[in-house]
């Protein structure tokens, strides 16, 4: 019975959809970044596989099907960038300056700390793109030979930390400009941070959204130039 169920690719797909649905529901109720739907879904699936002794390969029959959408999902980001073109045109130079400085700093900090802590290459490569939006980060990590699931985990941790700490960091570093606040949130903590930026103000949220696409692209280019 169990064999019949788990050998079907629909098993992985169904489990993913329901776990994510539960994640969204819990997130809606709790309204806290720690209850990230993706994080909840992942934990639910991992728990299910471990408890019922289902091998990952069985889950991944369906998982691989979902993975196939990673490229189109990234490509579709182009539509949101295109939609913001008027704002981008108006504030192009400050946004570019902020996202370039932030992205380079992120890469340099991660590389330096990884070396200091003696982490191996595959771990370092998995962490390198962790400040940028998931589709781009996964693409960069895979290209470098990193472990993409580790990238997703590190990126979720960063996003949740950024979401919680954004208002505090703005105060700590005495950031007065609203554009600077938005750009910094989007560059440092991608879409999970951006949801906090939205709460802080629509203009900050929009900037954060633009900055996360910019920093994703800049990080991809910087990494392909350096490595």
Partner 1 sequence: MKTLLELGILFLVSLASEAIAAALPFEFPPAILAMFMLLLLLSIRAVKEVHLENTSAFFARYMALFFIPAGVEIINYLDLLKDTWFYIILIAFISLLTTFFAAAKAVELTEKLMQRKEDR
Please, which of residues 190-209 interact with partner 1 by CB under 8 A?
none
Query: 67, 58, 69: which is closest to 8 by C-alpha?
Result: 58
- Decide: is 226 part of the binding site for partner 1 (CB under 8 A): no
> Which of 10, 17, 30, 34 forms a contact with partner 1 (CB under 8 A)?
17
- How far, in whole angstroms, is CA 172 from its chain's centroid? 24
> Which of 139, 197, 204, 222 forms a contact with partner 1 (CB under 8 A)?
139
Count of residues interacting with partner 1 (CB under 8 A): 103
- Decide: is 7 part of the binding site for partner 1 (CB under 8 A): no
Quote the DSSP letter at residue 18.
H
User: What does the CA dihedral 130, 131, 132, 138 come to, rounded to 10 degrees?
Assistant: 0
Site residues for partner 1, 140-159, by CB under 8 A, read 140, 142-143, 147-150, 152-154, 156-158
Q: Please, are residues 195 and 209 in contact by the beta-carbon 8 Å criterion? A: no
Nearer to partner 1, 5 or 56 (CB): 56
Site residues for partner 1, 55-114, by CB under 8 A, read 56, 59-60, 62-64, 66-67, 69-83, 93-95, 97-106, 109-110, 113-114
> Which stretches within 53-177 are classed as H helix?
56-67, 70-75, 77-83, 85-90, 92-116, 121-127, 134-144, 148-172
C-alpha distances out from residue 88 to 59, 95, 189, 207, 208, Å: 42, 8, 20, 9, 12
Nearer to partner 1, 175 or 200 (CB): 175
Binding region for partner 1 (CB under 8 A) out of 2-10, 179-187, 195-203: 179-187
- Decide: is 187 part of the binding site for partner 1 (CB under 8 A): yes
């Amino acid at each position: 019975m169990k064999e019949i169920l788990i050998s079907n690719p629909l098993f992985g797909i169904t489990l993913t959809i329901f776990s994510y649905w539960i994640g969204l529901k819990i997130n809606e109720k709790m309204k806290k970044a720690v209850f990230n739907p993706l994080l909840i879904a992942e934990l639910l699936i991992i728990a299910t596989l471990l408890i019922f002794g289902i091998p990952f390969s069985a889950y991944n029959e369906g998982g691989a099907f979902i993975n196939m959408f990673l490229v189109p999902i990234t490509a579709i980001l182009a539509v949101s960038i295109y939609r913001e073109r008027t704002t981008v045109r108006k504030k192009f130079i400050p946004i570019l300056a902020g996202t370039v400085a932030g992205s380079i700093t992120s890469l340099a900090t991660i590389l330096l700390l990884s070396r200091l802590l003696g982490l191996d290459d595959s771990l370092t490569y998995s962490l390198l793109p962790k400040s940028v939006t998931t589709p781009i980060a996964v693409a960069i990590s895979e290209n470098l030979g990193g472990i993409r699931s580790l990238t997703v985990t590190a990126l979720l941790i960063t996003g949740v930390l950024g979401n919680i700490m954004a208002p505090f960091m703005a105060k700590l570093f005495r950031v007065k400009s609203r554009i600077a606040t938005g750009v910094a949130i989007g560059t440092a903590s991608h879409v999970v941070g951006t949801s906090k930026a939205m709460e802080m103000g629509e203009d900050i949220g929009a900037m954060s959204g633009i900055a996360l696409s910019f920093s994703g692209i800049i990080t991809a280019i910087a990494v392909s130039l350096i490595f």
